[in-house]
Structure 1
Amino acid sequence: MTAVTLAAARRERILQEAVRQGLLDPEQSLLAAFVDLDGVAATVGALHEAFAGLGGDGPRHGAGSGPSAPPRVLHAFAAKANCLVPVLRELAGLGMGCEVASAGELARALAAGFPAERIVFDAPAKTRAELERALALGVAVNADGFQELERIADILARRPSASRIGVRLNCQIGGGRIAAMSTATSTSKFGVPLTDPGNRERLIRAFAEHPWLTWVHTHTGSQGCPLDLMARGVARAVEFADEVEAAFGPGRVEGVDIGGGLPVNFADDEVTPGFATYVEQLRAHAPNLFRRGYRVVTEFGRSLLAKNGFLAAYVEYTKTAGGRPIAVTHAGVQVAARTVFGPDAWPLRIEAHDGYGTVRRGRPVRQDVAGPACFAGDLLARDRALPLLHPGDLVVVPDTGAYYFSTPFHYNSLPEPAVHGVRVRADGGIEFPLIRPAQDPWGLSARDGVGVPPREPAGAPVPGVR
């Protein structure tokens, strides 16, 4: 069997066992999500392997050496991709760091056990209180602009910090095919626009004035951005780091945070592009990243988790409208907001299974796969050719381990589904450690500061109805 067919077979087996164990049930557990923890470990291993041969001249000036020296490359998982604490804890155990973009993500990273020195705080709107906390903890901080650099300078004048501090550059290299995912356009909200008049000189002055400023950060974008565009963005950042070193001496820039953004193949189960392919692009476009001995931080997210997670939901009803079959399921905008609101940019595969989890192999019929939300556009797929779905069937949505069920959208007060980890034991048995329990829809009002309404027992009379 090929790797692609093995992945599909593994997914089917997991689904069947989840049904057998009652994690999916047409009356009680209508929607559930799964994170393949074995797959996560394998993907992290591939990332470490791809960067293992990073060249250079050894530790930089002041970086130290020996067993207590900082890592040559720190892979910091982008928490926004999947911020569930048990998932983050798993990644911490695999030697990852964590990139956070809010106080909430920072709190989750700390709860997951990441040491402060392995956490990177990136956000365009950090408050003074957030910066003070991060700097007190020793978390790495990448300033998003000149005003933030001055705020950091003011804090450090009163309280020194062990944090490594960098500045984010917008290298203005251009965008990919998804505008919302392109962060290096000429007018991007992120970072200091490097080619705007006077900014390069102003950045050099910032390094002259602030000896604690020792890192350069850039991130060109993610899904929809070609690898060579990403690598050329890194090259611009490395060129600037080289310029700082030429002005102030070797070792003035300790490292370069190259961001993440490796795109994911959503068309099938093939894992492409791989991390090794991206490293090849970096060697071609940004050779000084390797030759000059800079320390490196990466911030991959989607490429580590997307293909290691899937959703499964029951079909509640089917109907036909205008001659097109429609399957109404329990998975929609609340767990697939990007696909529902941007179907052309974020198409997802749909797999048809019977109620026991076995793949349906009937004649493909063009049909819509709809979600439960109360608006017409809540569709996982439009006019998609699938074996005809029936009430009680299961639809599986692969490649949703990042940015989907881990970040639910609470439209219609739809509850968050349970998320289960998946591990296959040596004897072939499957374990499902709970990552997040399912929300009880009857308990949602507690979030609003009111009591939980009483449940009416089955068959109880409804007030006002005879």
Structure 2
Amino acid sequence: MTPADSDDRPRSPDSDQWHRSPDGDDRHRSRGSDHQDRRTRREQAVRSAVRQGLISPEEPVAGLLDVTGIRRSATALREAFAELTAPGTPVLHAFAVKATALVPVLRLLAEEGLGCEVASPGELALARAAGVPVSRTVLDSPAKTPAELREALALGITVNADNPQELARIDALVRSAPTGSPLGLRVNPQVGGGTIDAMSTATATSKFGVALLDEGARDWVVRAFLDRPWLTRLHAHVGSQGIPLERMAAGVRATYELAEEINAAAGRRQIDTLDIGGGLPVNFGSDEDTPAFATYARLLRDTVPGLFDGRYGLVTEFGRSLLAKNGLVIARVEYAKTAGGRPIAVTHAGAQLATRTVFAPGSWPIRVEAYDAEGRPKSGPAVAQDVAGPCCFAGDLVAENRSLPLFEAGDLAVLLDTGAYYFTNHYAYNSFARPAVHGFTADPAAPQGVRFSVARPSQTVEEIVAESGGGQRDAFITEG
């Protein structure tokens, strides 16, 4: 039995799988660059968080998400591609859930017309809890179990097979039961890596996809499609932070050329959709959104002109670039001390939140701003100092020898650009609790003009004990 949509007819532009720019209220209209007032919103939110008790001696660390900023980022992404694609071209922007795995975030993005790219049963469950339609959900895990595949195909979720063995599993499942799932194959164009090895997914030996330059691989891919008329998508993701835009575009071009080759061999438009992944780098040096989605989209148009002519539907999978600059961490300075003549601010945000920054500061630097105990930006001469976290190892530093107004006990260290890969990628060192995460929006009727909504409450000590086997205390105790 083949999938329900196994023929080669174009997918309906009216399907709710695809998003088109709405004609709704003002939040959907272009606003241009947001970096000018991002700082204003941030400063107001920090001050209000202190006054409303979100950060205190009892709650010494919290995450904040700028709801207005998230909406504007989603709008910028949609408009960047809508400007270049032929009328009626189906485009799905599927947010990479791993970047910020919070149900309220996924719900907000779904309201903005985005879908979800998931890579585990947990991420799929989060997307479903957020009400994201299965028609806007894409499963890309490199290690899908038979049970995961069976569930995805039963739901009608898009599935991109990672390798020949997985494709064989899908063959068996497709024969046993019909499915409405659009099905694709992930390929690795092997165009090379970037400055961060761990974020480079298109190297010669990457674990992801079918390596196109390996001997016989390209011929195998073409034959795999010809043998399966229901296989209608190609997927490639070149990398993430540290990957030059030109290399990302080269990977998309290689994927497009492969699709053209397969369709020519099939004598029909068998491949109707290209999933070009995400991975747009983030500028961690300022409030500016550089590179912009529009910059990347225009580069794609220049590098792969046929990508936008309407013959292929498009799927993107951006994550960090949508959320990073729309989040911040506020951490109370518990103590201010010196060692070897260098000031050290000991805070409540370290490796348990900023894991990548602490262990690879050269690749993942973050900006830190100094605020006083009332939530106001500190002034005064800049002093070289360390900003340390609470974890019990010497390298738990989010900033080392950084010039900032001198921190004092009770001040606040604000970690910027932390909206992605900080709030939901917790490192449970020393069993520190996961902090609360709050969304904020301007609201004249709210205290101090800012309305906060809890996205996730702080983890309790009781929950830490339960998660750590508290209910199985005597599991290793034997009688006698």
After TM superposition, the score normalised by the length of structure 1 is: 0.92
* 1:242-286 alpha-carbon deviations (Å, 9 max, x no partner): 001111123210100000011111001111111110011101111
**Aligned positions of 1:23-62 closer than 5 A:** 23-25=54-56, 27-56=57-86
**Aligned positions of 1:128-139 closer than 5 A:** 128-139=146-157
Counterpart for residue 425 of structure 2: 407
How many positions carry a matched residue from both structures?
Answer: 439
Match 2:47 to one of 16, 30, 44: 16
1:433 and 2:453 equivalent? Answer: yes
Give the whole-Å Cα distance in 1 for the aligned partners of 2:367 and 2:354.
12
8 Å CA contact 1:76–1:99 kept in 2: the answer is: yes
Counterpart for residue 463 of structure 1: none
SS of structure 1 residue aligned to 2:131? coil
Give the letter aligned to residue 10 of structure 1: R
SS of structure 1 residue aligned to 2:377? coil
* 1:303-349 alpha-carbon deviations (Å, 9 max, x no partner): 10000000000000111111111110000011100101110000000
8 Å CA contact 1:78–1:299 kept in 2: the answer is: yes
Counterpart for residue 380 of structure 2: 362
Counterpart for residue 221 of structure 1: 239
1:79 and 2:86 equivalent? Answer: no
SS of structure 2 residue aligned to 1:325? strand
Give the letter aligned to residue 326 of structure 2: N
8 Å CA contact 2:444–2:450 kept in 1: the answer is: no
**Aligned positions of 1:186-335 closer than 5 A:** 186-291=204-309, 293-335=311-353
C-alpha deviation, 1:441, in angstroms: 2.4
Give the whole-Å Cα distance in 2 for the aligned partners of 1:206 and 1:54.
32
C-alpha deviation, 1:114, in angstroms: 0.6
Bigger mean CA deviation after superposition, 286-295 or 10-19: 286-295
8 Å CA contact 1:55–1:293 kept in 2: the answer is: no
C-alpha deviation, 1:443, in angstroms: 3.8
SS of structure 2 residue aligned to 1:432? strand
- Where does the alignment leave 5 or more consecutive residues of structure 1 unmatched? 60-71, 454-466
Give the whole-Å Cα distance in 1 for the aligned partners of 2:325 and 2:268.
41
After TM superposition, the score normalised by the length of structure 2 is: 0.89
Give the whole-Å Cα distance in 1 for the aligned partners of 2:86 and 2:109.
27
- Where does the alignment leave 5 or more consecutive residues of structure 2 unmatched? 1-32, 474-480
**Aligned positions of 1:63-212 closer than 5 A:** 72-212=90-230
8 Å CA contact 1:40–1:305 kept in 2: the answer is: yes
C-alpha deviation, 1:450, in angstroms: 2.5
* 1:390-433 alpha-carbon deviations (Å, 9 max, x no partner): 10000000100000022211111000000001111266821101
| Structure 2 CA distance for partners of 1:175 and 1:131, relative to 1, 3 Å | same
* 1:284-306 alpha-carbon deviations (Å, 9 max, x no partner): 11112123520000000001000
Bigger mean CA deviation after superposition, 287-296 or 148-157: 287-296
Give the letter aligned to residue 245 of structure 1: N
Give the letter aligned to residue 459 of structure 2: Q
Counterpart for residue 462 of structure 1: none
C-alpha deviation, 1:220, in angstroms: 0.4
Give the whole-Å Cα distance in 2 for the aligned partners of 1:3 and 1:356.
26
Counterpart for residue 67 of structure 1: none
SS of structure 2 residue aligned to 1:288? helix
RMSD over aligned CA atoms reads: 1.6
